[in-house]
Amino acid sequence: DTGVSQNPRHKITKRGQNVTFRCDPISEHNRLYWYRQTLGQGPEFLTYFQNEAQLEKSRLLSDRFSAERPKGSFSTLEIQRTEQGDSAMYLCASSLEGLAGAANEKLFFGSGTQLSVL
């Protein structure tokens, strides 16, 4: 298993354009998370899937952001009409639901997609 894979690693776009990122989680993991991280800050939660169901979405997330996980495997995050404030590292993480409960859940992160909006 090669871990969580994210593509592309880097994306430069002009303001107003749409962008889409892909995340391939660890194959047996049923939970998938998207986070955003800016310089000097910890990751900020965006959304969370259990299998193909999107169970939670941050209230801070604009309607320009949408995420899917159509077959409960890979996921895509789309940002429409990008703004300069969207520039950040977008991180994907996956985990396996366990009997030990949320407290012992282990998240495995990908290397992220660094987005720069000009």
Partner 1 sequence: TQLLEQSPQFLSIQEGENLTVYCNSSSVFSSLQWYRQEPGEGPVLLVTVVTGGEVKKLKRLTFQFGDARKDSSLHITAAQTGDTGLYLCAGLRGSNYQLIWGAGTKLIIKP
CA distance 48 to 34: 6
Q: Which of 42, 68, 80, 98 binds partner 1 (CB under 8 A)?
A: 42
CA distance 102 to 112: 23
Going 104 to 89 to 17 to 63, the CA torsion angle's sign is: positive
Nearest to 90 by CA among 100, 75, 101, 72: 75
Token duo for residue 3: 């871990």
Of 47 and 82, nearer to partner 1 (C-beta) is: 47
The least CB distance from residue 111 to partner 1, in Å, is 5
Question: Pseudo-torsion of CA 7, 11, 13, 17, nearest 10°?
Answer: 20
Residue 2 within binding range of partner 1, rule CB under 8 A? no
Site string for partner 1, 69-88 (x = CB under 8 A): --------------------
Residue 93 within binding range of partner 1, rule CB under 8 A? yes
Of 18 and 51, nearer to partner 1 (C-beta) is: 51
Residue 17 within binding range of partner 1, rule CB under 8 A? no
Residue 31 within binding range of partner 1, rule CB under 8 A? yes
Residue 91 within binding range of partner 1, rule CB under 8 A? yes
